[in-house]
């Protein structure tokens, strides 16, 4: 009987031990936001973001990004739905150790008043991040009205862009909504292999320089199925850009789809090659498709 009891105790202890181990792993995975087959999901809430639309969450976003960027197994920075995150200038830099996704399901807002700038910057600035995906059902709102007024009164030399990508190869931007940028909504500079799909841009037709998507010195860019309503170009293609395909874009109000302006700022030589625009609709626009030059 004693041996049987001992055997029974061992039999009961094993499932208990397994249960404790599994529970500990589950708690650890939940804390990090791990999903099977998706790498690790890093929620900004786990890095002390408030998500109340009042507290500056810039530092929490940058710390979340830094942790995800160091993950060699693929990672997602998660901005949860149902919350609003106030950001100032937020820099998300690479290179990262593996492909990385920023999943924006909540809303991101800029400060409601003018915030100090000493140079051109962005609310969200991605720099040297390869194999980056930005996706989600959320909205990024630049609250640009005070800046437009300041610009029209010739008091603001610099205005922040909403989202910028610099030196990012293998970039995908899908499904997000961009609203009321102080300046350009999305800037793509020195990037290669770029896909922008099903992105919505909304700003008043009289908002100055609020281009939807601006690109320069980039190649192999595809923009598809986007809705862009702005106070300037829906898509602007600047010097040094090649192999661009713009298709199924709803453009207007705005200035249309533009190549240029080219030859400005003392440029002695400029180049844009292999640009295709197809199946796009224009309404209440200044032009359809045009080439702009200073010369």
What residues are annotated to the active site?
A: 255
Are residues 109 and 143 in contact, defined by beta-carbon separation less than 8 angstroms? Answer: yes
DSSP the chain: -HHHHHHHHHHHHHHHHHHHHHHHHHHHHHHHTB-TTS-EEEEGGGGT---EEEEE-HHHHHHHHHHHHT-TT-EEEEE-TT-EEE-SSEEEE---SS-EEEEE-SEEE--SS----SS--EEEEEES-SSEEEE-S-EEE---HHHHHHHHTT--S---EEEEEES-EEEEEES-EEE--SS-SEEEES-EEEEEES-EEE--TTSTT--SEEEES-EEEEEES-EEE-SS-SEEE-TTEEEEEEES-EE-SBS-EEEEEES-TT-S---EEEEEEES-EE-SBS-SEEEEE--
Are residues 178 and 186 in contact, defined by beta-carbon separation less than 8 angstroms? Answer: yes
């Amino acid at each position: 009987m004693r041996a049987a009891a001992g055997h029974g105790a061992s039999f009961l202890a094993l499932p208990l031990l397994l249960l404790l181990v599994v529970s500990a792993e589950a708690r650890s995975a939940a804390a990090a936001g791990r999903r099977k087959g998706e790498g690790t999901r890093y929620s900004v809430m786990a890095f002390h973001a408030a998500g109340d639309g009042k507290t500056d969450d810039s530092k929490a976003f940058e710390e979340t990004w830094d942790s995800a960027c160091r993950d060699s197994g693929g990672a997602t920075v998660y901005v949860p739905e149902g919350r609003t995150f106030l950001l100032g200038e937020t820099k998300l830099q690479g290179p990262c150790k593996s492909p990385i996704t920023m999943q924006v399901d909540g809303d991101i807002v800029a400060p409601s008043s003018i915030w100090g700038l000493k140079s051109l910057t962005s609310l969200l600035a991605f720099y040297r991040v390869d194999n980056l995906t930005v996706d989600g059902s959320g909205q990024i709102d630049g609250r640009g009205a005070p800046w437009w007024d300041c610009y029209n009164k010739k008091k603001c030399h610099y205005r922040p862009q909403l989202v910028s990508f610099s030196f990012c190869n293998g970039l995908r931007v899908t499904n997000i909504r961009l609203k009321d940028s102080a300046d350009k909504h999305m800037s793509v500079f020195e990037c290669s292999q770029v896909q922008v799909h099903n992105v919505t841009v909304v700003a008043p037709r009289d908002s100055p320089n609020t281009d939807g998507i601006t690109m320069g010195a980039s190649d192999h860019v595809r923009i598809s199925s986007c809705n862009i309503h702005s106070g300037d170009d829906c898509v602007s293609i600047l010097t040094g850009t090649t192999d661009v395909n713009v298709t199924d874009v709803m453009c207007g109000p705005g200035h249309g789809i533009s190549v240029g302006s080219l030859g400005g700022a003392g440029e002695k030589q400029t180049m844009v090659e292999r640009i295709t625009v197809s199946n796009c609709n224009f309404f209440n626009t200044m032009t359809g498709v045009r080439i702009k030059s200073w010369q």
